[in-house]
Amino acid sequence: MGGSCHLVVVAAPKVCQLCYEEGHYASGCQYLGVHCTHAWCCGFMRVVLGHMEEGTLQSKYLKCSREGCSAVT
């Protein structure tokens, strides 16, 4: 008796599905429901990840999801 077998429970990492940042889920994302920057557009902004060369920071920007609108922040 006296075994010291402990199960190590590793919680699944909290990763946002919208902006891919850790620490929160999409439901609590700061990018959730962000309206397009154009006043005439009723679209919503979506997070787009730009893949860059290895060793460089990944670029992230918001782009309007509405077809025909090119709003980017």
Q: Which residues bind Zn ion (CB under 5 A)?
A: 16, 18-19, 21, 29, 36, 38, 41, 43, 64, 66, 69, 71
Give one DSSP letter per residue of the chain, joined into a string.
--------PPPPP-B-TTT--BTS-GGG-TTTTPBPSSTT---BEEEEEEP--TTSPPEEEEEE-STT---B-
Closer residue to Zn ion in complex, CB, 62/64: 64
Closer residue to Zn ion in complex, CB, 15/52: 15
Closer residue to Zn ion in complex, CB, 3/23: 23
In angstroms, give the least distance from the CB of 39 to Zn ion: 10
